[in-house]
Homo-oligomer: A and B are copies of this chain.
Amino acid sequence: MPSPLRKQNDLKRKAQTRVCLLDAAAKIFARSGYHPPRIADIVAEAGVGQGTFYRHFASKRAALDALFDRFFEKLLRGFAQLSDHLPEDQAAYREASLDVVRRLTDVLQAERELVLLFLRQGPAVDAAFEEKMSAGLDRFADLARFYLDHAIAQGFARPCRSDLVAQALVGMALRMVERWLSGRLADQQIEAAITELVDFAFFGFCRQEGEKS
């Protein structure tokens, strides 16, 4: 009969090892992609034995799942209180949009390597993982659509197929993020890019009637 103290310590140690392995996996996957690395690479990076990996994850695939869950939970946490109060005119809407995007970029930048990992490797892992990621992205699309519908209802956005537009916004975002985080943005002025693209989303690229040149 083990003492409760002993049991707690064991659990804590085990949890530490798990974190250690996840961090190592993230590093390795970020460096070489998901498929190429061997379990041996991950445990070497983590500094534990081969068998230890299998005490914590059934397979490389399971570790990736755990990694994604940890990441996505963190990502969502930043948007929990978002829908508390909705903007009531176009200017406020634009401010709120800029605010959301900025907050998003902060998280993404903090997890740069993981983001790139999932963006590139995610859809190629297997059908189940693609589905999981797809569901995650759809949650963001739904959020965008919800906001868009609000704006339409308020009258400061024009009626449109908000489902399509929301997905288009997600598409824009994904590509810009991927280019930004992989260092392919023309200049790395992310702030300027954000403004530019929010304006593009709000007003399109056409010169409007009465717009000053």
List residues of chain A with CB under 8 Å of any chain B CB.
2, 33-36, 49, 90, 119-121, 123-126, 130, 134, 148, 151, 155-161, 163-165, 167-176, 179, 184, 186, 192-193, 196-197, 199-211, 213
In the assembled complex, the Cα of A157 lies from the Cα of B121 at a distance in Å of 37
Chain B: CB-nearest residue to A141: B175
> Contacts of A130 on B, CB cut-off 8 Å?
120
> Contacts of A34 on B, CB cut-off 8 Å?
124
> Contacts of A159 on B, CB cut-off 8 Å?
213
Name which of A121, A159, A204 has the most chain B CB atoms within 10 A of its CB.
A204
In the assembled complex, the Cα of A176 lies from the Cα of B141 at a distance in Å of 12
> Contacts of A157 on B, CB cut-off 8 Å?
205-207
Q: Determine the main DSSP class of A at the interface with B.
A: helix
> Contacts of A120 on B, CB cut-off 8 Å?
123-124, 130
Min C-beta distance of A201 to chain B, whole Å: 6
> Contacts of A208 on B, CB cut-off 8 Å?
158, 203, 208-209
In the assembled complex, the Cα of A173 lies from the Cα of B209 at a distance in Å of 27
In the assembled complex, the Cα of A205 lies from the Cα of B163 at a distance in Å of 12
Partner of A172, one of B125, B158, B171: B171
Chain B: CB-nearest residue to A117: B124
Q: Is the CB of A209 within 8 A of B206?
A: no
Given A124-B34, A130-B120, A176-B171, A205–B158 Cβ distance below 8 Å?
Answer: yes
Name which of A134, A206, A211, A213 has the most chain B CB atoms within 10 A of its CB.
A206
